[in-house]
Chain A
């Protein structure tokens, strides 16, 4: 036991970057996992995918223009979420096609810009993140975003739940569904931008889907789903960080792998929906 304790504490005592990385991992883990529950029940999981890819041209442009990266990222992220909403509502295209068109277009634009400014931007770091290079400024940005998003979710909890469950009923009841829709999109984009340095824009998709989905298999209640998701998200973030530190692996990828591993565990062992339970039910149809 003391050995395990040393294993966990030592890197943080010795290295400043490890302390920042751990704290950022906790904030990003919490933020993404809480939001993932709402994305899952609202069936917006793929919107997270689309927006995170659309952030790339913004990051590239910011480097070109010498702006802080989150300004451009937020801008193109919001622009594409509005574009998806427009295509979906004003044309015959459905959500899936609208998202596919917008995010691949934006992503391609980002890659094209980065191929021009090669050398100044590390594409690999943007795509997969590098939590070990997170600066104090990045950390403050993440914390501010995290606190704001979680605050909004707490304040609007009842309205968001009603809207996600029964959008028509919510609108009739007087919940301003349109504003809520844009507010959620804004929060999603902000979360993706805040997680960019840590897990990268490809891996953040996983952090925005997997913890919530894992928890969804284990419980029937939204509050317990959120708490479970929080635990899984943070465990994946911190576990992934230590794994990558000791085995010298890409941090974002290991975080995602840990999250996926937990998901597989809950898929197999979930008391109500797990594979084991299903096999038992199949063998014994009378129960």
Chain B
């Protein structure tokens, strides 16, 4: 079976400098992979390149064996919660329902099944009691749960999470980890961008260490050694061109 994400020699520029250079990797299906690196190491850029949001300077990306635009309905993406304006006049369930915006069904109203999935996802993340609350009133952890429930409602095969543990409480962190385990049991693929190293051993199958280029990649035990970690985190940052 083909990989969940296959990166072949990709180079991606962001604001005029190469944020990721000549990266080649196969991320297998049915596993939980962490993409780890310091700030500015190109983690988010890599994620955006996989999602077709940034153009590639070189190389190719295949998602579930196809170009990304052909598998949009099979991919769920959880952006960093800081990326949107939470004062937007929406209720919690309305944001979760956005997960049911699939390429073929943009113009029709929510179906019975859509509503069921939205409700079930909110229950899973413990936010069904907030369903009719304006999103502006939520705490950091609750905002993250809303985004996770939106991704869950999508019923995808590949889940891409951008820094899901940032600024959340312990309870939310526990739920995220439980969800990742369950997704793995159901043979879904999860890729998590993460900047902390300490939890990698227990919660992830594979790790990709990144600092503008691939430092190491493989099963967690092999990918993380004191040598690779030092390389990832202590190497001087490349100059920033403006």
Contact = CB atoms under 8 A, between A and B. Distances in A.
B164 interface: no
A155 B84 CA distance: 24
Given A166-B84, A168-B83, A173-B72, A158 B101 contact: yes
A166 B75 contact: no
A159 B101 contact: yes
B90 A165 contact: yes
B77 A219 contact: no
A100 interface: no
Contacts of A174: 69, 72-73, 101-103, 106
Given A159-B106, A220-B134, A41 B89 contact: yes
Contacts of B72: 172-174
Interface residue range, chain B: 20 to 34
For chain A, what secondary structure do more than half of its interface residues adopt (helix, strand, loop), or is it mixed?
Answer: helix
Interface string A220-250: 1110010000000000000000000000000
A216 B95 CA distance: 18
Contacts of B101: 158-159, 162, 170, 173-175
Contacts of B95: 165
A68 interface: no
A172 B134 contact: no
A216 B90 CA distance: 11
Contact of A168 (B53, B85, B102, B134): B53
A156 B102 CA distance: 13
Contacts of B51: 172
Contacts, number: 74
Contacts of B109: 158
B215 interface: no
B106 A225 contact: no
Interface in B86-124: 88-91, 94-95, 98, 101-103, 106-107, 109
A135 interface: no
B53 A172 contact: yes
Interface residues of A, number: 24
Nearest to B48: A168
Contacts of A155: 107
B37 interface: no
A225 B98 CA distance: 19
Given A155-B107, A166-B84, A173 B91 contact: no
B88 A165 contact: yes
Given A155-B107, A172-B51, A220 B89 contact: yes
Interface in A147-185: 155-156, 158-159, 161-162, 164-166, 168-175
A220 B91 contact: yes
B107 A164 contact: no
B79 interface: yes
B136 interface: yes
Given A172-B72, A221-B89, A222-B90, A166 B83 contact: yes
Contact of B88 (A156, A164, A168, A173): A164
A174 B105 CA distance: 10
A90 to B, nearest CB: 13
Contacts of A156: 106-107
A161 B77 CA distance: 18
B91 A171 contact: no
A118 B95 CA distance: 54
Given A155-B107, A165-B85, A173-B72, A221 B134 contact: yes
Interface string A72-115: 00000000000000000000000000000000000000000000
A156 B109 CA distance: 10
Contacts of A159: 101, 106-107
A170 B102 CA distance: 10
Contacts of A171: 53
A61 to B, nearest CB: 38
Contacts of B136: 220
Nearest to B150: A169
B98 A162 contact: yes
Nearest to B50: A172
**Among A170, A172, A219, which residue has the most Cβ atoms of chain B within 10 A?**
A172
25 contacts: A41-B88, A155-B107, A156-B106, A158-B101, A161-B98, A164-B88, A165-B84, A165-B90, A165-B95, A169-B84, A170-B98, A170-B101, A172-B51, A172-B53, A172-B72, A172-B75, A173-B72, A173-B98, A173-B101, A174-B102, A220-B134, A221-B91, A221-B134, A222-B90, A225-B89
